[in-house]
Homo-oligomer: A and B are copies of this chain.
Amino acid sequence: MEWEDLARELSQQTDSKIVLLVMDGVGGLPADGRSELEAARKPNLDGLARAGVCGLADPVMMGITPGSGPAHLALFGYEPLKYRLGRGILEALGLGVEVGRNDLVARGNFATVKGGLVTDRRAGRIPTEENVRICDDLNARLPKREGVEVRVFPGKEHRFVARFTAEGLSDALSDADPQKEGKPPLLTTPQAPEAGKASAVVNRFLDDVAEVLKGEAKANAALLRGFSKFPSIPTMQELFKVRPAAVANYPMYKGLAKLLGMEVIGAGGETSDLFDALEKNWAKHDFFYVHYKKTDSSGEDGNFGAKVAAIEALDPFLPRLIALKPDVLVVTSDHSTPSSLKGHSWHPNPFLLISPTAGVDDVAVFTERACAKGMLGRFRAISVMPLMLAHALKLQKYGA
């Protein structure tokens, strides 16, 4: 019997409310002796650490660096080693693209190819409006191919999603992306015997795109990665009997939330928008996932100071969250993004939980090192959802 089965059996609907605030990538590493969390002035966040219990959560398992998909799945109570989501499906759902059983989707970049080599993997980050024009152009002019329907959907700047609709398309495909500039564009290759058809369909599409866009100055080729089909995954309603909502403003997180059955409450790009949206929708849901992106993007940029500033920028909004009086409040991250590594890492997430049934430990500040001494100890992030549900009294007793 696994956690998922336990959850179906033991979860019960109640009026208690849970807030999971994800400070994306907030965990970091010391530079000049202090991590981003240690360097930031964040009196409210530290106050929360003093009001509850803390610990460190490994997203997947010790040593494993997760993508945003598995890192979030774990936080939402889905075993990340069981469910694997392609980046393409997340991006597609985030853009509002409908995806069905016969659809294969991928994340795309428009790129610049000159003399047979990729000279710019992002086509000079063309403006989004130009992307829209190019996608309209492709959808109108791409040659029709027997038994296959293809559509492209513009994202921000140079990003798009490609959707291939046909019987029997497998997503066992390698990325069609050389990853580095100065190399020729790459075709996809099948990674399983049944992916031959999908491989042929995708590679013909890449040729067709190059033909249609050959007159473009910048966006004259397409790179594709993260091929994926719609996964079979139970909703949070089914598993946990919650009425979940996601307050987020980046496509991928909205996409993931939608996939799991959350109502997606779009929020503007300002930090205050997250809290406005949370307050406005407080009555309608009992589980709120709030996603704060800036801590991750500054970490990815390798900008220690900007990451410190992102932590400090969120801090003044926390009293608005506390004023809502959630029965359970968790603040953590999906994965760490140390600025020194300029990317996701395998380090555990600092974690705090506040609830009338949680007690209080000795942790006085919200940092990696302080959380390591917290009462919750070190645990896999798959335990975050059972902990939140338990403290919200949403889990019945197991066995007699």
Residues of A within 8 A of B (CB): 1-3, 6, 10, 29-30, 35, 56, 60-70, 80-82, 84-87, 90, 226, 338, 340-341, 343-346, 357, 359-362, 368-369, 372-379, 383, 385-390, 395-400
Contacts and interface: CB of A to CB of B under 8 A. Distances in A.
- Interface residues of chain A: helix, strand, loop or mixed (majority): loop
A383 B348 CA distance: 13
Contact of A61 (B90, B386, B397): B386
Given A35-B359, A81-B1, A377-B372, A63 B400 contact: no
A153 B388 CA distance: 42
Given A86-B400, A395-B346, A399-B85, A389 B63 contact: yes
A63 B359 contact: no
Contact of A67 (B3, B345, B400): B400
Copies of this chain assembled into the complex: 2
A176 B84 CA distance: 43
Given A390-B65, A395-B63, A372 B361 contact: yes
A399 B80 contact: yes
A341 B357 contact: yes
Contacts of A63: 383, 385-390, 395
A361 to B, nearest CB: 6
B65 A395 contact: yes
Nearest to A2: B81
A226 B400 contact: yes
A63 B341 CA distance: 33
A323 to B, nearest CB: 24
